[in-house]
């Protein structure tokens, strides 16, 4: 079977010219964060656009600003933008129609060197009085601009028509299997989520920096490993509520939670040097409550490489014991020691995710489920009588226990039944939900 590889369009420009607003306008949803603050978008954000049957991938990039050799974050951003330019088939150079800037000329020079097709687009053209071709815009050497307003949508349709004319045709390649395992990389800021994503990809797509909070948007990528396709999402670091000090970060955390919600497997990344914190436990609880299969990845454990082998094993054992103690509500999740920087055990995360995905989609035969319930009752006389016990669905596994009075069923009874199920079917790394039904209420309905 074949599928289309869509052409790629990159949005390039200075900070605060409306790139993210334009990106969201074309994608039809608020995927990139919009803000008047500079450096809000620091990673490359990907989205899909379908205009009159013409499909293409859109990249929103960070704003290019004047060089500061001492600004490491800016260097990372520049490298990231260059990669976006390299990957693109068409470049949209977005400028502010009201604010001509000398640095726009430097950006124009950079883009011309790429030998890619470039469309000069003047944003914030809310009315015809602003559509005056200034000398500054013409001096960029990219021809007359296309005037639009990303906020109101004025001129965007004409621009999309122009884009569809300039883009190459989609390429056909062999289609990978349709089942895609969705993975979210979650954790506190600066634990190495972006480094792990880059190691999985084999490219520096997400910005890696020692500055906490560098990843503010959502980064996602498709990865094929041993015949299985994965969608891996790198999320912004989730800090304690009292530590969230900006509107941008609040939006980022909302998107991180949504990324968890949309995933099958959440990989919770913990810094080996810092150990587990209350916030790590809170993040794990959030993923569990959302019904996600969970892997605990202890990152940066290569800091122990200088220790003797025996001492290193001791450190790892202590870390596992600490995790099991602090995450007592997740005794069934696997723990993997990784190093995003050294790429140690990185692909093992994908193998584990595949195993957990299989577990969360397991459906137990109805007779077998009822047999497990009856055995659980016979082994514990305190367990309440029930009328039926069955699995309603999988992904995640949900069971129904039908009783006369739900109030007589204690939480400990359900935990006992869950553990009994796991004796036969471990559902490794995956939460099990047991819902109660009342016989009398069901009969009335």
Give tens-digit pLDDT for 171-193: 544 333 457 899 999 888 878 88
Give the chain's domains with CATH numbers. Answer: 2-173 (3.40.50.300), 180-360 (3.40.50.300), 366-444 (3.30.300.20)
**pLDDT higher than 90, residue 372:** yes
- Per-residue model confidence as pLDDT tens digits over 385-443: 999 999 999 999 999 999 988 888 998 999 999 999 999 999 999 999 999 998 765 44
pLDDT for residue 209 is more than 80: no
Q: For residue 186, is it left (φ>0), alpha (ψ between -120 and 50) or beta?
A: beta
The pLDDT score that the predictor gives to residue 443 is 45
The answer to whether 418 and 432 have CB atoms below 8 angstroms apart is: yes
CA–chain centroid gap for 124, Å, is 31
pLDDT digits (tens, 9 = 90+) for 48-106: 788 877 778 788 777 665 554 455 445 555 655 676 677 788 999 998 887 766 778 88
Decide: helix, strand or coil at residue 28: coil
Residue 435, phi then psi, degrees to nearest 5: -95, 145
d(CA 257, CA 137): 42
CA dist 53 and 64 (Å) reads 32
The pLDDT mean for the chain works out to 79
Distance CA 46, CA 333 (A): 31
Q: How confident is the model at residue 207 (pLDDT cuts 50, 70, 90)?
A: very low
The predicted model scores a pTM of 0.58
Tens-digit pLDDT profile for residues 247-293: 333 344 455 676 788 889 999 999 998 888 888 888 888 889 889 99
Question: In angstroms, rounded to a whole number, what is the distance separating the alpha carbons of residues 308 and 232?
Answer: 35
In this predicted structure, what is the pLDDT of residue 194?
82
- Residue 99 and residue 50 in contact, taking contact as beta carbons nearer than 8 Å: no
Helix (H/G/I), strand (E/B), else coil: 267: strand
Q: What CA–CA distance (Å, rounded) separates 318 from 299?
A: 15
What's the confidence (pLDDT) of residue 129?
Answer: 58
User: Quick one: which of 20, 13, 445 has its CA closest to 255?
Assistant: 20
SS3 252: helix
| Cα–Cα–Cα angle for 149, 150, 152, rounded to 5 degrees | 65
Strands 117-123 and 45-51: unpaired
Q: Is the peptide bond before 396 cis (omega within 30 degrees of 0)?
A: yes
Q: Is 357 helix (H, G, I), strand (E, B) or coil?
A: helix
User: What are the angstrom distances between the C-alpha of 80 and each of 66, 262, 330?
Assistant: 16, 26, 37
Is the pLDDT score of 306 beyond 80?
yes
pLDDT digits (tens, 9 = 90+) for 6-21: 788 888 888 888 888 8
Looking at the DSSP bridge assignments, the partners of residue 393 are 398
Pinpoint the alpha helices (H) of 215-308: 247-262, 278-289
């Amino acid at each position: 079977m074949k599928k289309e590889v869509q052409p790629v369009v990159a949005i390039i420009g200075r900070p605060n010219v409306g790139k993210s607003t334009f990106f969201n306008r074309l994608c039809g949803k608020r995927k990139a964060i919009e803000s008047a603050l500079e450096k809000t978008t620091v990673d490359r954000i990907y989205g899909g656009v379908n205009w009159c049957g013409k499909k293409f991938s859109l990249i929103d990039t960070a704003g290019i600003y004047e060089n500061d050799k001492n600004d490491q974050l800016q260097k990372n951003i520049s490298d990231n933008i260059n990669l976006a330019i390299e990957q693109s088939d068409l470049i949209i150079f977005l400028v502010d129609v009201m604010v001509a800037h000398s640095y726009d000329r430097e950006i124009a020079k950079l883009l011309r060197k790429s030998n890619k097709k470039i469309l000069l687009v003047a944003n914030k053209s809310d009315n015809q009085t602003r559509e005056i071709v200034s000398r500054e815009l013409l001096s960029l050497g990219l021809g007359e601009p296309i005037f639009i307003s990303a906020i109101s949508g004025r001129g965007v349709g004409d621009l999309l028509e122009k884009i569809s004319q300039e883009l190459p045709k989609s390429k056909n390649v062999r289609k990978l299997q349709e089942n895609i395992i969705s993975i979210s990389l979650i954790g506190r800021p600066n634990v190495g989520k972006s480094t792990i994503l880059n190691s999985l990809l084999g490219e520096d797509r997400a910005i890696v920096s020692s500055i906490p909070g560098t990843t503010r948007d959502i980064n996602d990528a498709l990865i094929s490993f041993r015949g299985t396709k994965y969608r891996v999402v790198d999320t912004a670091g989730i800090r304690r509520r009292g530590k969230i000090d900006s509107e941008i970060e609040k939006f980022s955390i909302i998107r991180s939670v949504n990324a968890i919600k949309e995933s099958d497997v959440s990989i919770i990344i913990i810094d080996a040097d810092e150990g587990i914190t209350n916030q790590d436990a809170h993040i794990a609880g959030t993923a569990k409550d959302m019904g996600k299969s969970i892997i605990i990845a202890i990152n940066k454990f290569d800091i122990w490489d200088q220790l003797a082998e025996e001492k290193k094993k001791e450190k790892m054992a202590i870390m596992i014991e600490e995790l099991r103690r602090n995450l007592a509500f997740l005794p069934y999740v696997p723990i993997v020691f990784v190093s995003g920087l050294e790429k140690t055990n990185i692909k093992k995360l994908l193998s584990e995710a595949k195993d957990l995905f299989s577990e969360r989609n397991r459906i137990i035969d109805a007779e077998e489920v009822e047999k497990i319930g009856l055995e659980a009752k016979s082994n514990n006389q305190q367990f309440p009588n029930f009328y039926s016990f069955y699995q309603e669905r999988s992904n995640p596994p949900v069971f129904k226990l039908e009783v006369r009075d739900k109030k007589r069923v204690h939480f400990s009874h359900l935990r006992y039944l869950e553990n009994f199920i796991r004796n036969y079917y471990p559902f490794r790394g995956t939460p099990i939900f047991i819902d109660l039904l009342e016989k009398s209420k069901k009969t009335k309905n």
